């Protein structure tokens, strides 16, 4: 086929959602090569994209037109232009050609190049301030002779910053610049501040809290992990309507002092004394008594343009107020990450204290034991008589409940939920109310734990980027939210934290020092642990599969290789990895001793070698996709290790859910044994009456291992079981997020102590850990039946699987090509009717639950093998329905 720009237009087809490889909500993107993506909508059934053409201009309105390209691709499209440079603003548009000809040009996409740290002229500045003491404010005033036409503030900090210009917040980002591996990467924000500036005198003020940089973090109670000096770096560039440029840089001309925030800690909360508030964010404030700023010697190349959306307020929930023993008990109805926005009425000098908890003790008191040493308490001193709205800065808490004490009257309370502001990507609802609630709980656990880094939990003195939890949950995270930029940024840190030998950390950003991590009283090595370190290969591939862009694989390839090379070196002359003094193993297997969660029943060395196979195989796949050398070599390695694993642990695989799931899902079992292994797993599940017997590593895999090998009945039995341990048990116990332990609240209502045999008096119990929520990806693929088979959903299997206890489901996923949706129901006569929406560019293969007695029609005619874009009605009479003993509510 040849395409040319003169082919007649196709008015029934449009290019929509043109964007670059970066999240479309970033105000500026890292300088470099831009690649484009788009969706197409078309009213013409069966039409396809046969080619595309890109145009761009650099602000002068003169379009540069690329040659027409014959291709059906709509992801990772080279823009045909030079690399985008800092401050450059470039506009793109695209059109595609179908069988009917060219479409109109798309809406325009504007991208702007951010500044890199190397280009900053501003210096990092500070004033002397104490760790956990009053929070420093740095300010200065400047004059503009005319109104601004364009103004950009490039800003970051050692610490967490808030910036105000002329009395207004200049960003809705929270805890910016967010947490990254600060020793090598600190994000640099670009803010459009033109609306806040005016002719004449202007004031800019930047407040910097300890945040993750200097505050207490981790279970070893470390402070000043990255440094003992906190302060901002900011470069304001203004061009006014007369064309005059003004640049304001952080330097020694700034002055600093303190205001209302007397201390702020991520774990402990914030103390705000409003009697000490200062109006330093407006021009005319007298800062003569303040200190001159000092320059903090700092390598500014560490500042890198932000490529991930910031943490923001994402939802507010009204809280109920109840009097309880002289205090006011608050309930937001939902476990969240964030804080309480409190309206009170009182007198100047009144003290108000707000404490937080995820659950209540049976007597209604806050359960704070789970917080360990985190105080999670905000205190305020009122600044004036009358009503005041109170909110803490530079902290967040994991909570549903709170308790307010103090003299002031509580007028109202709102729970403010914060999260890295990723766009929700999907929806699911079914006839099974408890499953729907569980889905909702998983969505909340992701929201609550995606606060700048993928944390284990948002409440206790931890909130760390545990790599094992992240890899377990990655596929589900990618289905629920548009997590691509989030992972891309975190994976850079994962590589930063790899040691010289390629070993991957258990926590990213890594703040663990040798001796911090104790298990059974012994210091254990946190580098290169199986199932945790494998986040290096699993998360990039899950991200590629979900969004279809090879960027993440290309960027991470070196990290993936270093990890697999490391494993090879550990194996030495042997095929298998050797025994290690410590592995987390199938962490929190419900059959492990509660205080020794690493003592799972599946042998840790077996599990470790399964992950070795997986990482080698994923590396091989990445190399093949990228056309890089090594694919065959690593595929052979994976096969060799797989054979040795099976030989040594094949019998054990037959006995445990996790062992079987690993061998089935990681292709370790030889083909001839697959049926027998799957049957053994199914038999195990039947014998256990659907009891889940997997920890963090087996849980994401076990239902896939069943359903992909013909044991859907057992998969449903596990999914819908109500007794502990099970996913729905916690729903029945009122959970609004996913628990860390299957029995965090026991059937008799008592709360698990979480006692741990790690260090003296240690506990580990959280009501908001997403790892076990990893089952939700299976629900989308198998219950709803939206099962991507090619990266980015380019080819998707439509495979709804109704059950007696689940007769209706609907789901929608925003694929890179557009919305893919299904809404199916089984009628009393046993017919399944499914309404399907397939986006342009996606091929939907039908894998329907038909029996020998079924007739299958699509849009009233005989069913084709696959469908293209449009809406379709699929009817399967006498549908196959999974029998189930689970209740249908
Ligand atoms: C975290 C986990 C983590 C584990 C590994 C816990 O304290 O909360 O989710 O993966 O430690 O040891």
Q: Whose CA is nearest to atom 1 of ligand 1?
A: 456
3-state secondary structure of 488: helix
Identify the DSSP state of 360. Answer: B
* Nearest alpha carbon, ligand 1 atom 7: 764
Q: Which of 219, 448, 453, 468 to mutate to test the pocket of ligand 1 (most atoms within 8 A of CB)?
A: 468
Does residue 97 carry a pLDDT above 60? yes
User: What is the average per-residue pLDDT within 794-815?
Assistant: 97
CA-closest candidate to residue 36, choices 69, 12, 60, 2: 69
Look at the chain and count its residues: 889
Atom number in ligand 1 closest to CA 457: 8
Q: How far apart are CA 340 and CA 354, in angstroms?
A: 8
CA gap 404, 638 in Å, rounded:
57
Beta-carbon count within 10 A of 280 CB: 21
Atom of ligand 1 nearest to the CA of 468: 10
CB-based contacts of 452, cutoff 8 Å, min separation 6: 175, 178, 179, 311, 420
C-alpha 701 chain-centroid distance:
20
Cβ density class 11-49: b for 16+ within 10 Å, e for less: eebbbebbbbbbbbebebbbbeebbbbbbbbbebeebbb
Half-sphere exposure of 401 toward its Cβ, with a 13 Å CA cutoff?
A: 18
Structure tokens at 683: 């038999």
Distance 466 CA to ligand 1 centre (A): 7
Strands across the sheet with 245-249, in order?
A: 245-249, 231-240, 148-158, 186-192, 303-305
Compute the distance from residue 503 Cα to the ligand 1 centre, in Å: 18
| pLDDT tier at 4, thresholds 50, 70, 90 | very low
Question: Which ligand 1 atom is nearest residue 764's CA?
Answer: 7
Beta-ladder partners of 839: none
Listed residue (557, 600, 603) closest to 576, CA to CA: 603
pLDDT for 298-337, tens place per residue?
999 999 999 999 999 999 999 999 999 999 999 999 999 9
Residue nearest to atom 12 of ligand 1 (CA): 584
Model confidence pLDDT, tens digit, residues 7-47: 558 999 999 999 999 999 999 999 999 999 999 999 999 99
Q: Which atom of ligand 1 is the closest one to the Cα of 469?
A: 10
Please report, to the nearest 10 degrees, the dihedral formed by the alpha carbons of residues 40, 41, 44, 50 taken in order: 0
Cα of 461 from ligand 1 centre, angstroms: 12
In this prediction, residue 9 carries a pLDDT of 87
DSSP assignment of 274-296 equals GGG---TTSTT---TTSEEPEE-
Contact (CB, 8 A) for 556 and 572: no
Among 586, 609, 612, 610, which Cα is nearest to 597's? 586
Residue to mutate (ligand 1; options 456, 600, 697, 770; most atoms within 8 A of CB)? 456
Predicted confidence at residue 275, as pLDDT, reads 98
Query: Average pLDDT of the chain?
Result: 96
Q: Quick one: which of 312, 367, 430 has its CA closest to 26?
A: 312
Which residue, chain included where needed, has tokens 């209604």?
364
- Dihedrals phi, psi of 424, to nearest 5 degrees: -55, 140
Q: What is the 3-state secondary structure (H, E, C) of 741-764?
A: CCCCECCCCCECCCECCCCCCCEC
User: By alpha-carbon position, which residue is closest to atom 9 of ligand 1?
Assistant: 456
Instruction: Give the strand order in the sheet containing 808-815.
Output: 426-430, 808-815, 818-826, 832-838, 870-876, 856-858, 861-862
509: preceding bond cis by omega (within 30 degrees): yes
User: Which secondary structure element, helix H or strand E, spans residue 106, and what is its range?
Assistant: none
CA dihedral 676, 682, 688, 693 (to 10 degrees): 90
The pTM score is 0.97
pLDDT above 90 coverage of the chain, percent: 95
Bridge partners of 763? 755
Cα(15) to ligand 1 centroid in Å equals: 45
Give the Å distance between the CA of 525 and the centre of ligand 1: 14
- Cα dihedral 250/256/260/265 (nearest 10): 60
Which whole-number Å values give the CA distances from 294 to 129, 132, 157, 252, in the listed order?
Answer: 12, 20, 14, 6
pLDDT for res 8: 58
What is the gyration radius of the CA atoms in the chain, in angstroms?
28
Please state, in angstroms and rounded to a whole number, the distance separating the CA atoms of residues 796 and 785.
9
Phi-psi region of 275 (alpha: psi -120 to 50; beta: other; left: phi over 0): alpha
For position 760, what pLDDT does the model report?
Answer: 83
Please name the residue whose Cα sits nearest to atom 8 of ligand 1: 456
Instruction: Give the separation between CA 756 and CA 763, rounded to whole angstroms.
Output: 5
Reading the block at residue 735, the tokens are: 């959970």
805-to-122, 343, 710 alpha-carbon distances in Å: 63, 46, 19
Query: 6 pLDDT band (50/70/90 cuts)?
Result: low
Do residues 526 and 512 make contact, with C-beta atoms less than 8 angstroms apart? yes
3-state secondary structure of 202: strand
Q: Supply φ then ψ for residue 607, to 5 degrees.
A: -60, -45
CA-proximal residue: ligand 1, atom 4 (nearest): 466
Catalytic residues, by residue number, are 462, 740
Query: From the CA of 95, how far away is ligand 1's center (Å)?
Result: 49
- Of the CA atoms within 13 Å of residue 407, those in its CB half-sphere come to 10
CA of 40 from ligand 1 middle (Å) equals: 43
pLDDT (tens digit per residue) in 287-304: 999 999 999 999 999 999
- Helices of type H across 426-483: 433-449, 467-480
Q: What is the pLDDT of residue 885?
A: 64
3-state secondary structure 305-353: ECCCCCEEEEEEEECEEEEECCEEEEEEEEEEEEEEEEEEEECCCCEEE
Using 50, 70 and 90 to split pLDDT, how confident is the model at 60?
Answer: confident
pLDDT in tens, 175-221: 999 999 999 999 999 999 999 999 999 999 999 999 999 999 998 88
358, 448, 454, 466, best to mutate for ligand 1 pocket (most atoms within 8 Å of CB): 466
Give tens-digit pLDDT for 116-142.
999 999 999 999 999 999 999 999 999
Distance 597 CA to ligand 1 centre (A): 10
Q: What are phi and psi of 726, to 5 degrees?
A: -165, 165
d(CA 860, CA 548): 33
Paired with 139 in beta bridges are 205, 255
- Rounded mean pLDDT, 378-385: 98
- Which residues partner with 140 through β-bridges? 204
Residues 481 and 423: their CA atoms lie apart, in Å, by 6
Answer positive or negative: Cα dihedral of 771, 772, 774, 776. Answer: negative
Task: Identify whether the C-beta of residue 594 lies closer than 8 Å to the C-beta of residue 752.
Answer: yes
Mean pLDDT over 642-660 rounds to 98
Longest distance between any two alpha carbons in the chain, whole Å? 88
| Angle of CA points 731, 736, 738, to nearest 5° | 75
| pLDDT score for 370 | 93
Ligand 1 atom closest to Cα of 598?
12
Is residue 770 classed as helix, strand or coil in its secondary structure?
coil
Q: 């929070």: which residue's tokens?
A: 135
Query: In this structure, what token pair is assigned to residue 790?
Result: 């090619």
Element (H, E) at 581: none
Number of H helices, E strands in the chain: 14, 47
Q: Are 296 and 125 spatial neighbours (Cβ–Cβ below 8 Å)? A: yes
Kind and range of the H or E run holding 565: helix 551-571
Mutate to test the pocket of ligand 1, among 508, 527, 587, 598 (most ligand atoms within 8 A of CB): 587
Which residues approach ligand 1 with their CB closer than 6 A?
456-457, 462, 466, 468-469, 584, 587, 764, 769
Residues 741, 751: Cα–Cα separation, whole Å: 11
> The dihedral of CA 796, 879, 436, 734: what is its sign?
negative
Residue 133: half-sphere exposure toward Cβ, Cα within 13 Å: 13
pLDDT recorded at residue 346: 98
Contact present, 121 and 234 (Cβ < 8 Å): no
Question: For ligand 1, atom 2, which residue shows the shortest CA distance?
Answer: 456
Q: How many CA atoms are closer than 13 Å to the CA of 369, on its beta-carbon side? A: 15
């Amino acid at each position: 086929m040849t395409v040319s720009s003169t082919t007649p237009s196709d008015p029934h087809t449009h290019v929509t959602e043109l964007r670059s490889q970066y999240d479309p909500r970033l105000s500026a993107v890292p300088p470099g090569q831009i690649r484009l993506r788009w969706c197409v909508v078309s009213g013409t059934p069966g039409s396809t994209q046969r080619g595309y053409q890109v145009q761009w201009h650099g602000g002068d309105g003169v379009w540069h037109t690329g040659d027409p390209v014959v291709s059906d691709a709509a992801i990772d499209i080279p823009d045909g232009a030079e690399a985008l440079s800092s401050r450059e603003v470039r506009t793109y548009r695209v059109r595609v050609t179908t069988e009917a000809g060219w479409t109109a040009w798309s809406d325009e996409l504007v991208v702007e190049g951010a500044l890199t740290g190397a280009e900053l002229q501003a210096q990092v500045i500070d004033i002397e301030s104490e760790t956990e003491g009053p929070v420093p404010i740095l300010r200065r005033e400047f004059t503009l002779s005319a109104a601004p036409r364009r103004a950009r503030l490039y800003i970051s900090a050692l610490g967490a910053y808030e910036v105000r210009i002329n009395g207004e917040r200049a960003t809705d980002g929270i805890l910016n610049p967010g947490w990254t591996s600060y020793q090598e990467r600190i994000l640099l924000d670009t803010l459009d501040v033109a609306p806040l500036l005016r002719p004449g005198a202007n004031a800019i003020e930047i407040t910097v809290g300890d945040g993750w940089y200097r505050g207490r973090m981790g279970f070893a109670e470390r402070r000043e992990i990255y440094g003992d000096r906190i302060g901002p770096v900011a470069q304001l560039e203004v061009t006014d309507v007369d064309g005059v440029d003004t640049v304001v840089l952080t330097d020694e001309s700034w002055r600093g002092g303190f205001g209302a925030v007397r201390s702020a800690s991520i774990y402990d909360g914030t103390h705000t004394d409003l009697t000490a508030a200062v109006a330093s964010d407006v021009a005319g404030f007298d800062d003569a008594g303040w200190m001159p700023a000092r320059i903090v010697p700092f390598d500014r190349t560490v500042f890198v343009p932000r490529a991930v959306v910031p943490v923001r307020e994402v939802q507010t929930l009204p809280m109920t107020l109840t009097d309880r023993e002289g205090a006011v008990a608050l309930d937001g109805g939902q476990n969240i990450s964030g804080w309480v926005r409190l309206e009170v009425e009182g007198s100047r000098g009144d003290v108000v204290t707000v404490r937080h908890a995820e659950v209540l003790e049976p007597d209604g008191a806050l359960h704070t034991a789970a917080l360990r040493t985190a105080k999670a308490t905000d205190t305020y001193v009122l600044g004036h008589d009358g009503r005041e709205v109170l909110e803490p800065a530079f902290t967040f808490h994991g909570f549903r409940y709170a308790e307010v004490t103090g003299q002031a009257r509580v007028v109202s309370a709102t729970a403010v939920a914060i999260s890295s502001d990723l766009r929700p990507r999907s929806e699911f609802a079914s006839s099974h109310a408890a499953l729907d609630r569980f889905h909702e709980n998983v969505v909340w656990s992701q929201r609550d734990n995606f606060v700048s880094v993928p944390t284990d939990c948002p409440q206790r003195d931890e909130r760390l980027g545990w790599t094992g939890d992240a890899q377990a949950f990655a596929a589900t995270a990618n289905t629920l939210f548009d997590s691509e930029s989030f992972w891309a940024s975190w994976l850079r840190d994962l590589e930063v934290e790899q040691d010289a030998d390629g070993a991957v950390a258990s926590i990213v950003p890594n703040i663990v020092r040798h001796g911090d991590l104790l298990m059974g009283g012994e210091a254990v090595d946190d580098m290169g642990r199986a199932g945790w370190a494998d986040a290096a290969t699993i998360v990039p591939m899950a991200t590629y599969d979900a969004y279809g862009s090879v960027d993440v694989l290309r960027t991470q390839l070196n990290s993936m290789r270093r990890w697999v090379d490391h494993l090879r070196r550990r194996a030495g002359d042997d095929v298998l990895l050797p025994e290690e003094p410590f592995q987390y193993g199938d962490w929190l297997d419900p059959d492990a001793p509660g205080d020794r969660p690493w003592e799972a029943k599946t042998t840790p060395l077996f599990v470790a070698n399964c992950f070795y196979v997986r990482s080698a195989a994923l590396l091989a796949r990445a190399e093949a996709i990228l056309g890089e050398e090594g694919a065959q070599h690593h595929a052979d390695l994976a096969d060799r290790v797989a054979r040795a694993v099976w030989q040594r642990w094949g019998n054990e695989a037959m006995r445990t859910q996790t062992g079987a799931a690993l061998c089935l899902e990681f292709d370790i079992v030889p083909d001839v044994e697959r049926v027998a292994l799957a049957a053994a797993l199914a038999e195990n599940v039947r014998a256990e009456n659907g009891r889940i017997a997997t920890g963090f590593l087996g849980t994401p895999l076990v239902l896939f291992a069943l359903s992909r090998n013909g044991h859907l009945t057992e998969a449903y039995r596990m999914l819908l079981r109500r007794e502990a341990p099970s996913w729905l048990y916690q729903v029945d116990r009122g959970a609004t997020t996913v628990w860390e332990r299957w029995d965090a609240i026991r059937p008799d209502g008592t709360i698990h102590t979480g006692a741990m045999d790690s260090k003296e008096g240690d506990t580990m119990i959280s009501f908001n850990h997403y790892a076990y929520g990893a089952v939700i990806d299976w629900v989308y693929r198998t219950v709803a039946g939206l099962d991507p088979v090619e990266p980015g959903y380019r080819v998707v299997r439509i495979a709804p699987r109704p059950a007696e206890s689940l007769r209706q489901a609907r789901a929608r996923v925003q694929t890179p090509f557009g919305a893919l949706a299904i809404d199916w129901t089984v009628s009393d006569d046993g017919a399944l009717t499914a309404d399907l929406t397939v986006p342009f560019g996606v091929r939907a293969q039908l894998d329907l639950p038909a029996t020998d007695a079924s007739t299958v029609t699509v849009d009233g005619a005989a069913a084709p093998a696959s469908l293209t874009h449009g809406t379709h009605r699929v009817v399967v009479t006498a549908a196959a329905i999974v029998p189930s003993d689970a209740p249908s509510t």
